[in-house]
Structure 1
Amino acid sequence: MDRIEAMRAFVTVVNEGTFTRAADRLDTSPQLVSKYISQLETHLGVRLLNRTTRRIHLTEAGSQYFQRAQQVLSDIDDMENQLGDLQTEAQGLLRISAPVSFAIRHMAPLLSEFQKAHPAVGIDLQLNDRKVDIVEEGFDIALRIGRLKSSSLIAKRLAPVRLVLCASPAYLEQYGTPERPEDLRDHRYLRYSYMDMDAGPSVHKWLQGNDRNNTREMISNNGDVLIKAAIAGAGIVLQPTFIAGAAIREGKLKVILPEQEPEHMGLYAVYAHRQLLASKVRSFIDFVDGFFGEPPYWDRFE
């Protein structure tokens, strides 16, 4: 018995849900997949799957084995891919999805330096603040900002993303500087429409008030617009420092209620899978890791 192939057959059956779909994925027959599973169970001395006419169910032993087997196979694939990369130059078109404001402000130097290091790689950068479907829309990598939930995608954290509450000195002089969260209910709020409402619940509670249709709000799906409105004295804004940092450093905006700063989010590189990862993707992930500094350069305004 080829234990690696048997292990791969087992993991694929669990992921696909049926022997038939697993066989299609492995380009083999359902009978051979079933044989691999039986041999694996005999070798281990435990039942891994309970089979019915319609579904398969993991046993307790199967569930434990599945988690470890997934990691073993991933490590094997990573090792083989890395060895292959030593012989393969990164090349081809790299399709990247990135948030609009972050990309406009921070992606050009990164991509320029990356292409100097990997001249055979072309770049197709698409800007969009919505969460794209990487597989369906044909992206190699998506940069995402937030607190990522569990999914089948692989995510590598690249940098912390800090949210600050700020307003222009002129606005604060005219309307007063909030000293407590409850003071925010008397102020105009410049709200980013994609903002996660659990990011800083105390701040959002007072900024939005009890009325979700608060007439004191200005709402936009672009953070740069809101920052420019805040600089012009339109109200108080909660935005990441990779957008607001320059204005804060230049004195155009002032941070308020720093003790109420929400928990940091993260900037992530998200991609579909570890297995058979193309050299162009691996090279980009390795290159961007640490590129922005620790802390990231946009936070160096205090």
Structure 2
Amino acid sequence: MFLILYGEDGCTLTLTLHWCHVRFSSPPLLAAREKIKGLSFDTHSDTRTSIVDNQSSGIFLSANFVLATTRPLFHAGNIAMDYFAAVRAFINAAELLSFSKTAHEMAVKTSTISRYVSELEKDLGIALFNRSTRGLVLTEGGRLFREHAMIALQALDDARQVTSSLNLTPQGVLRVTMPSAFGRRHIVPHLPAFMTRYPDIDLDIVSTDETLNMIEVGIDVAIRIGVLPDSSLMAKRIAPHRRIVCGSPAYFQRSGMPHVPEDLTAHDTLRLSLLPDDKWSFTRVADAQASPEQVQVQVELQGRLRADDSEAVLELAVAGCGLALLPTWLASKALREGHLQHVLPEWEARTGRAEPAVWAVYPPKKIVSSKVRAFVDFYAEMFGEPPYWDDDLALALKP
């Protein structure tokens, strides 16, 4: 509860009552003594002092007195908000170079704008405008203050919008693009639950293995897999992306099992034609403390089959046509059912030091829309850590 008092010099005095907490903020203190009878306090101290109201008034308060004289108040209420209101008036006046035009723009009196600027100048100890019959001209101090004040106001606006957006109901059309195989297995099956949770969001799904220009085609969120290239886009990791060597029991019975990556040179391998060369690179996951040079191996491959689709490679591997390097999100079902076996469990395929992942990517914006945030958070929660497709494979993946 606030009790607002006005001193004879025009300064605002604020008495804040928090049950047994009283706070005064503003000089002069003599005005408070004249306005509130029965209160005793030290007019010279800037430290906390106990004050007690006269019991005859029917209220007994034991509280702390706080003297704050570093910044004048321009309105009753919160000091910082009043100060920002004055700064906004100054910014508008600096833009329009007229107090009357600024007052019209802000729907207040011209005298209010003039008082705001005067109080700012008093607080800063410097003139912000040179005033003449022709209008207003910013001083050097005014230009400097305007430059920094605009940054502060923009930060305040952003903070308010970000915070208030948390209460906004996610709604509208959400355009999402995703790799075909991953989308079919791990995005589409969970869409009914997502749409039930967020009934005001309409979805437009673009399933493609091409990397689309999100801004040009109007994509809100893209699911991307691997190591992201440097770009201005924003991204959140929503799951790991692990690739392992797999083969069918029939293939291993016929050709034997590799025990180290170098053994792959003697095996038939199934390669994605999307990859730049016929090489697989491995990192020894069991030696997490070793340097990358000690644990990375690159192997030249051979084989008679290529495909530009990961699901086709999976089917060929199950059919016994060779060994395949497959992501666990794609191969986990075949592994659980015994159609594929995981070999080289101490090794994981990586193309460099950066760890690949499943990413939610969205255009760069100061404030992420509530519908985008809802989609990204939903799938991060749904996948889990470790992701559900790795649950039954944990021992094999991390020996």
Give me the TM-score of the superposition, normalised by structure 1: 0.70
- Residue 140 of structure 1: how far off its partner (Å): 0.4
Contact 2:246 2:325 in 1 (8 A): yes
Amino acid at match of 2:219: F
The match for 1:293 is 384
- Output the CA distance in 1 between the equivalents of 2:365 and 2:159: 7
Q: 1:204 to 1:227 in 2, by over 3 A?
A: farther
- Output the CA distance in 2 between the equivalents of 1:272 and 1:91: 18
- Structure 2 gap segments, 5+ residues each: 1-86, 92-139, 284-295, 394-399
Q: 1:199 to 1:122 in 2, by over 3 A?
A: farther
The match for 1:268 is 359
The match for 1:229 is 316
Contact 2:282 2:348 in 1 (8 A): no
Which residue of 281, 291, 295 maps to 2:372? 281
Q: 1:227 to 1:278 in 2, by over 3 A?
A: same
Contact 1:191 1:217 in 2 (8 A): no
- The alignment status of 1:112 with 2:192, answered yes or no, reads yes
The match for 2:272 is 192
- Residue 199 of structure 1: how far off its partner (Å): 6.8
Which residue of 237, 243, 249 maps to 1:163? 243
Secondary structure in structure 1 of the residue aligned to 2:349: coil
Secondary structure in structure 2 of the residue aligned to 1:295: coil
The match for 2:340 is 253
Q: How does 1:1-302 map to 2 (within 5 A)?
A: 39=144, 77=158, 80-86=161-167, 88-195=168-275, 200=281, 205-208=298-301, 216-263=303-350, 264-302=355-393
Contact 2:239 2:385 in 1 (8 A): yes
Cα offsets for 1:148-191 (capped at 9, x unmatched): 12210000000111111010011011011111222111211111
- Residue 217 of structure 1: how far off its partner (Å): 4.0
Greater relative contact order (CA < 8 Å, ≥ 6 in sequence): 1
- Residue 285 of structure 1: how far off its partner (Å): 2.0
Give me the TM-score of the superposition, normalised by structure 2: 0.54
Cα offsets for 1:130-157 (capped at 9, x unmatched): 2111101111000000111221000000
The match for 2:132 is none
Q: 1:244 to 1:138 in 2, by over 3 A?
A: same
Q: 1:74 to 1:253 in 2, by over 3 A?
A: farther
- Residue 79 of structure 1: how far off its partner (Å): 5.0
- Residue 286 of structure 1: how far off its partner (Å): 2.4
Amino acid at match of 1:100: S
Amino acid at match of 1:156: K
Range with greater deviation from structure 2 (262-271 or 145-154): 262-271
Cα offsets for 1:248-301 (capped at 9, x unmatched): 111111111122212452011000023243322122122222211111011123
- Structure 1 gap segments, 5+ residues each: 6-34, 45-68, 209-213
The match for 1:52 is none
Contact 1:246 1:301 in 2 (8 A): no
Structure with the largest fraction of strand: 2
Cα offsets for 1:111-146 (capped at 9, x unmatched): 211110111111111111121111011110000001
- Matched residues, number: 238
Q: 1:75 to 1:247 in 2, by over 3 A?
A: farther
Q: 1:124 to 1:43 in 2, by over 3 A?
A: closer
Contact 2:261 2:282 in 1 (8 A): no
Amino acid at match of 2:204: D
Contact 1:93 1:124 in 2 (8 A): yes
RMSD of aligned alpha carbons: 3.1
- Residue 247 of structure 1: how far off its partner (Å): 0.6
Amino acid at match of 1:84: S
Q: 1:116 to 1:78 in 2, by over 3 A?
A: farther
- Output the CA distance in 2 between the equivalents of 1:74 and 1:205: 49
- Residue 205 of structure 1: how far off its partner (Å): 3.9
Amino acid at match of 1:247: A
Q: 1:258 to 1:196 in 2, by over 3 A?
A: farther
Range with greater deviation from structure 2 (232-241 or 194-203): 194-203
Contact 2:194 2:378 in 1 (8 A): yes
- Output the CA distance in 2 between the equivalents of 1:75 and 1:236: 57
Contact 2:241 2:356 in 1 (8 A): yes
